[in-house]
Chains A and B, each alone.
Chain A
Amino acid sequence: MIDDITPFLPLSPASLHILLSLASEDRHGYGIMQEVARQSEGQYKLGPGTLYDNIQKLMTNGLVEESSRAFANEDPRRKYYHLSSFGKRVLSAEVGRLDAVVQEARLHLRSPRRAI
Chain B
Amino acid sequence: MIRTLYRCLVWLHPPAFRREFGAEMKWIFDRARHERGPKTLLADACGSLARQWLLRTGWWKVAAAMALAVLQVTVGGLAMTMLGRHEVAQLAAPMAMFHAPLKHAPVTAEILVFGTAVLVGCLVLMVLVLVSSLNRITRRRRLCSNYAR
Interface residues of B in 1-42 (CB under 8 A from A): 17, 20-21, 23-29, 31-32, 36, 40-41
Contact with B along A1-38 (1 / 0, CB 8 A): 00010010000000000000000000011100100000
Partner of A78, one of B24, B51, B52: B24
| Chain B positions within 8 Å of A33 at CB level | 28, 32
Q: Given that A4-B149, A47-B44, A47-B48 are known contacts, is A52 also in contact with B25, CB under 8 Å in the complex? A: yes
Provide the bound-state CA to CA distance between A47 and B37, in Å: 11
Is chain B's binding surface mostly helix, strand, loop or mixed? helix
CB closest residue in chain B, given A7: B149
Bound state CA distance, A44 and B47, in angstroms?
Answer: 17
- Decide if A77 is an interface residue (CB 8 Å cutoff): yes
Q: What are 27 A-B contacts with C-beta separation under 8 Å?
A: A7-B145, A30-B27, A30-B28, A30-B32, A33-B28, A45-B36, A45-B40, A47-B40, A47-B43, A47-B48, A48-B24, A48-B41, A48-B48, A49-B25, A49-B45, A49-B47, A50-B44, A50-B47, A52-B17, A52-B21, A52-B24, A53-B52, A53-B56, A56-B17, A56-B21, A56-B56, A78-B27
The residue of chain B having its C-beta at the shortest distance from the C-beta of A28 within the complex is: B24
Chain B residues, Cβ within 8 Å of A52: 17, 20-21, 24-25, 48
Count residues on chain A whose CB falls below 8 Å from chain B CBs: 19
CB closest chain-A residue, reference B47:
A49
- The answer to whether B123 has its CB under 8 Å from any CB of chain A is no
**Chain B proximity of A7: nearest CB distance (Å):** 6
Instruction: Answer whether A77 and B44 are a contact pair too, CB < 8 Å, given A48-B29, A53-B56, A56-B17.
Output: no
B48 x A53 contact (CB < 8 A): yes
Name A77's contact: one of B23, B45, B49, B51 (CB within 8 Å). B23
**A45 and B40 alpha carbons, distance in the complex (Å):** 10
Q: Does A88 contact B (CB under 8 A)?
A: no
Chain A window 52-70, contacts with chain B (Cβ cutoff 8 Å), 1 for yes, 0 for no: 1101100000000000000
CA distance in complex: A50, B25 (Å): 10
Q: Which residues of A contact B51 (CB under 8 A)?
A: 49, 53
Min C-beta distance of A60 to chain B, whole Å = 10
